[in-house]
A and B are shown apart, each in its own frame.
Chain A
Amino acid sequence: MSATPHSMVMLRRNFKHIARNPTSVFNAVLMPIVILLLFVYVYGDAFNVGVDYIDYATPGLILLAVCYGLGATATAVNSDMTKGIINRFKVMDVSRGAVLTGHVVASVLTNVVAIAALIGVAFLLGFSVSASFLDWLGVVGLVVLLGFATGWLTVALGLAAKSPETAGLAAVPLVMLPFFSSAIVPAEKMGPGVRQFAEYQPFTPIIESLRGFLTGAAATTDVIVAVAWCVAIALVGYLWASSTFKKRA
């Protein structure tokens, strides 16, 4: 028997989907670059953040790039659910792990491609880093971890939503969350209320960790808090997705 494991079969299917759905690629890869250009060239001079704006904004936009890919994942998972494809897989005894992991891995890999493209463009715009090899490993590790965490949460949202449209809508808060963090401007420059929210929401320590790694001065507390948030989000997403997968027919 030369049978391919179910998880590989599923992953192959997810890749074909991405390749054949240019809109999702546009959203995931090009939108963060468009936003980068917009903020750096159009608004950048108006923000006084103490360093070159591109150096400040790029780590934040890395996070934004992770989030931008999520809408497509939520929609894809939901259309599998509502069109009966997941039921078909269930009756064929394809494990929940294979079906859902395929979506999560595809989502993470889209993130990685999007972020590589984003960092490439940032370098062309004069982005300067002083990160060691280990710091870069930290960046990649944190990005992948965040991708998995938000990926599982998004898969759960997609499974639970009634239609692909509502699934896409359910992912919007995740896409918006970076704007209410220190991604674009420092939290201390925001109005009261929003500032506290920005300081304590999960994305701020994640962005601060990325900034730390890229400037070669990562603060251990930020990194620990960032990793803890990611693990917590991943766990909630995974458990929610698993129980919805089992219950919903």
Chain B
Amino acid sequence: MTGSAIAASGLRKAFGDKIVLDGIDLDVRAGTVFSLLGPNGAGKTTTVNVLTTLMKADGGTARVAGHDVSTETKAVRAAIGVTGQFAAVDELLTGQENLQLMADLNRLDSAEGRRVVTELLERFDLVDSAQKLVATYSGGMRRKLDLAMTLVGNPQIIFLDEPTTGLDPRSRRIMWEIIRKLVADGVTIFLTTQYLDEADQLADRIAVLDQGHLVAQGTPDDLKHQVPGTHVRLRFATVPELDAAARVLTDSTRDDEALTLRVPSDGGTTSLRALLDRLDEHSITAEEFSVHTPELDDVFLALTGRPTEVAAR
């Protein structure tokens, strides 16, 4: 049996006359990864701030680890760990001192504190730079240290606010691995992200946030069914060539202005070869060929009828 780790209903928050959250309902099962997906300015950080007791909601209720976030802040804080949008590390301390600071603040005794610090340095592959000032760390290392600091208190529920924004692809993958291991240990993760692929990779359930409203909620597969899937885009030099190709590829959508055809495809090599073979059979050549996978932009376009740039305003 798994209960709710996080349950919110009707959360509202406004800054002045700008409504940031307009009635948010959430239910996160314990031991799962929940991802809040949305562009900049959608209200992701505000949601995290409310759920982590940093901000009071104007309306609605939220319970985290079974405790009310507005009246039982102490109990909530004891159960959670938060890694904010910007690595909240102390640049004038070394990596080890940062972790030791967390151990001291969590009131671990000195032997236990040393053990936890050493273990986390090893687990996050930071042993070599443990004695260096964090000011010299790369972005990826800072994020790792940030998350390691959150883990010192051994939280049951971890909030990760855009943990990979601004990281290079390799650091992102390392971060994903770390998150997967945490889930395997039974931790509940509340993850906000701007990237559909990140939510897709990690989350059991995804909620899409747009201008303070949840516009969709479901498993990654549920969501992907609502957006145009992976497709191949073919660009032709002339209208007759486009016409010819459109006659052959009957399931495609044409764009006369851009001289392109959009052909649904799973993006795999077998289907791509089949597609190219069919064009060859009919002696049609395309100027340009590209494979597109659905991105947050496509999800937004499908769910809200407008691209993310507009939503961010």
- A residues bordering B, Cβ < 8 Å? 1-4, 6, 9, 13, 16-17, 20-21, 83-85, 87-94, 249
Stretch among B84-92, B208-216, B232-240 lining the A interface? B84-92
**0/1 interface trace, chain B 22-60, chain A, CB 8 Å (1 if under):** 000000000000000000000000000100111100000
**Partner-binding segment picked from B98-106, B218-226, B244-252:** B98-106
Contact B54 A9, beta carbon cutoff 8 Å: no
Given contacts A2-B109, A88-B82, A93-B77, contact A13 B90 (CB under 8 A): yes
Chain A residues whose C-beta falls within 8 Å of the C-beta of B110 in the assembled complex: 2
In terms of DSSP, what is the predominant structure of the interface of chain B?
loop
How far, in angstroms, from A93 to B78 measured CA to CA in the complex? Answer: 8
Question: Which 4 A-B pairs have CB atoms at the shortest separation, nearest pair first?
Answer: A84-B88, A3-B107, A249-B54, A84-B84
In the complex, are the beta carbons of A4 and B153 less than 8 A apart? no
Determine the distance from Cα of A2 to Cα of B101 in the docked complex, in whole angstroms: 15
Given A13-B93, A89-B105, 16 more A-B residue pairs with CB atoms under 8 Å apart are A1-B107, A3-B108, A4-B104, A13-B101, A84-B88, A85-B89, A87-B54, A87-B88, A88-B149, A91-B52, A91-B77, A91-B81, A91-B82, A92-B106, A94-B105, A249-B49
* CB neighbours of A3 from chain B (8 A): 104, 107-109
Nearest opposing residue in chain B for A92, CB measure: B105
In the complex, the chain B residue whose C-beta lies closest to that of A10 is: B105
Q: Which of B49, B55, B153 contacts A92 (CB 8 A)?
A: B153
Q: Give complex CA distance A2, B114 in Å.
A: 13
Given A9-B104, A20-B133, A249–B55 Cβ distance below 8 Å? yes
Q: Are A16 and B97 interface neighbours, CB within 8 A?
A: yes
Report the bound CA distance from A3 to B105 in whole Å: 8
B77 touches A85 (CB 8 A): no
Q: Are B85 and A9 in contact (CB under 8 A)?
A: no
Check: B74 CB closer than 8 A to any chain A CB: yes
The contact string, 1 if C-beta is below 8 Å from chain A, for chain B 53-77, is 1110000000000000000001001
Question: At the interface, yes or no: B7 with Cβ under 8 Å from chain A?
Answer: no
Q: Provided the pairs A13-B101, A20-B133 are in contact, do residues A88 and B84 lie with their beta carbons within 8 angstroms?
A: yes
B202 located at the interface, meaning its Cβ lies under 8 Å from any Cβ of chain A in the complex: no
Which single residue of chain B is at the shortest CB-CB distance from A90?
B54
